[in-house]
Amino acid sequence: MVFGSAEAKGFDVVIVGGGAAGLSAALMLGRARRSVLVVDEGLPRNRFAPHMHGLLSRDGMSPLALLEQGRAEASRYGVEFAEGQVTGIERAERGFVVHGPVEALGRRVVVATGLVDVLPDIPGVQNLWGTGAVVCPYCDGWEVRDQPLGVIATSPMSRNQAHLLRQWSSDLTVFGAVEVGIPESELAGFAARGIRVAAPALEVSGSLGHITVRTAAGSHELSRIFVGARPRPADELLRSLGCATTDTPAGPFISTDATGQTSVAGVWAVGNVSDQKALVPIALGAGTAAATQINISLLEEEIAEALAA
Ligand SMILES: Cc1cc2nc3c(=O)[nH]c(=O)nc-3n(C[C@H](O)[C@H](O)[C@H](O)COP(=O)(O)OP(=O)(O)OC[C@H]3O[C@@H](n4cnc5c(N)ncnc54)[C@H](O)[C@@H]3O)c2cc1C
């Protein structure tokens, strides 16, 4: 469907972000015979990781291979793709104008732009990110079960990461727990479960399986470190449209209903951009839930238009 200005091509749905959430929505909308454009910058959050875990039937697959396959599958149903960054979304008479590598009009917009992991400013962490330094015990805990592990504490919430990780290994050290504000009262819980507390990490080095954490008091040899990265949702486009947010322990996130519909009619937000806990299978499901609801909303509009005509 083409509508709007002569230059901009029109689509039923424009999807910003082609990670797990965006591609999943695109696949289902394409299969529903909707015209769909996916605009993607190509920087998925897990691009640093060689393997992805916990996704039924794809456990251990490369995250980038999953997305490549997803693009190929969606293409079969006519989904179009544009590479690059969307820089703005504006309301139009019948939907939204999306500005970026191409200008496109969408009757509905899905923003699936993910989040950025803000890492602590400790030399070496960035270099090891995705291999020797990771964030999620569910994603990477099994591979290092019963091995010496570390948690680089970054906030009082690192208390939860440490206790969780203890399920995978009893040889666990938390660096900088007190310094980031984990209350002294919590240290008894660490001690009761055999979790050691050490001084803050000054530097991290090594490679996968052989990580050295240096503190003011000495060095620790570990298999892997888990880092309390701060999630920063890539939600600027949604905020500029006026989408409401909800406060969470990790900061404000865009509010949605169960299908990803935001407070702004016609705008959906799916995956990590609106849900910090959206691991790949959750992001995939969120994309599907949004797609089916968007299709219904387009259908209702078409029924009303047919009646009016
Ligand atoms: C190191 C690491 C390892 C992980 N391992 C696992 C694992 O093993 N299993 C698991 O289930 N989960 C894992 N995750 C979590 C996983 O990364 C997320 O669940 C998943 O990426 C969420 O998908 P998404 O589609 O919401 O966002 P993303 O995958 O981040 O995709 C967002 C896309 O939108 C694009 N984009 C952003 N802004 C714009 C813009 N303005 N214009 C155009 N495009 C834009 C980005 O470039 C990106 O391509 C891991 C995360 C990390 C950091």
The CATH number of whichever domain residue 210 belongs to comes to: 3.50.50.60
Q: What is the 3-state secondary structure (H, E, C) of the chain?
A: CCCCCCCCEEEEEEEECCCHHHHHHHHHHHHCCCCEEEEECCCCHHHHCCCCCCCCCCCCCCHHHHHHHHHHHHHCCCCEEEECCCCEEEEECCEEEEECCCCEEEEEEEECCCEEEECCCCCCHHHHECCCEECCHHHHCHHHCCCCEEEECCCCCHHHHHHHHCCCCCCEEEECCCCCCCCHHHHHHHHHCCCEEECCEEEEEEECCEEEEEECCEEEEECEEEECCEEEECCHHHHHCCCCEEEECCEEEECCCCCCECCCCCEEECHHHCCCCCCHHHHHHHHHHHHHHHHHHHHHHHHHHHHHC
CA of 209 to the centre of ligand 1 (A): 24
CA of 107 to the centre of ligand 1 (A): 25
Confidence (pTM): 0.96
Whole-number Å distance, alpha carbon 113 to ligand 1 midpoint, is 8
309 residues of the chain, pLDDT tens digit each: 333 445 689 999 999 999 999 999 999 999 999 999 999 999 999 999 999 999 999 999 999 999 999 999 999 999 999 999 999 999 999 899 999 999 999 999 999 999 999 999 999 999 999 999 999 999 999 999 999 999 999 999 999 999 999 999 999 999 999 999 999 899 999 999 999 999 999 999 999 899 999 999 999 999 999 999 999 999 999 999 999 999 999 999 999 999 999 999 999 999 999 999 999 999 999 999 999 999 999 999 999 999 999
Q: Which domain holds residue 204?
A: 120-227
* Side chain identity, residue 62: S
In-domain check, residue 33: yes
Same domain, 196 and 236: no
Same domain, 108 and 238: yes
Crossing angle of helices 280-308/20-31, nearest 10°?
Answer: 40
Query: Do 43 and 113 fall within a single domain?
Result: yes
Point out the domain boundary residue: 177, 196, 227.
227
197 shares a domain with 158: yes
Residue 276 within any structural domain of the chain: yes
Q: Is residue 2 part of a domain?
A: no
Other C-beta atoms closer than 10 Å to the C-beta of 203 total 13
Going by alpha carbons, the residue nearest to atom 38 of ligand 1 is 113
pLDDT for res 3: 39
The CA dihedral of 84, 26, 116, 166, to the nearest 10 degrees, is -150
pLDDT of residue 8: 83
Do 221 and 269 lie in a common domain? no
Do 287 and 146 belong together in one domain?
A: no
Q: Indicate if 203 and 254 belong to the same structural domain.
A: no
Q: Which of 198, 227, 256 finishes a domain? A: 227
Do residues 172 and 221 both lie within one domain? Answer: yes
| Nearest residue by C-alpha to atom 26 in ligand 1 | 271
Q: Whose Cα sits closest to atom 17 in ligand 1?
A: 46
Residue 90 lies in a domain: yes
* Among protein residues, the one whose CA lies closest to atom 41 of ligand 1: 86
Residue 53 near ligand 1, beta carbon < 6 Å:
yes
Whether 113 and 236 share a structural domain: yes
Closest CA to 15 of 298, 279, 204, 270: 270
3 in any annotated domain: no
| Total domains, the chain | 2
- Supply 63's token pair: 């995250």
Instruction: Please tell me the predicted confidence (pLDDT) of residue 208.
Output: 86
Cβ of 44 closer than 6 Å to ligand 1, yes or no, is yes
Residue 4 placed within a domain:
no
Last residue of a domain, one of 177, 197, 227: 227
How many angstroms does the Cα of residue 49 sit away from the middle of ligand 1? 11
Instruction: Please report whether residue 1 resides in a domain.
Output: no
Residue 254 and residue 200 share a domain: no
**Atom of ligand 1 at shortest distance to CA of 279?**
19
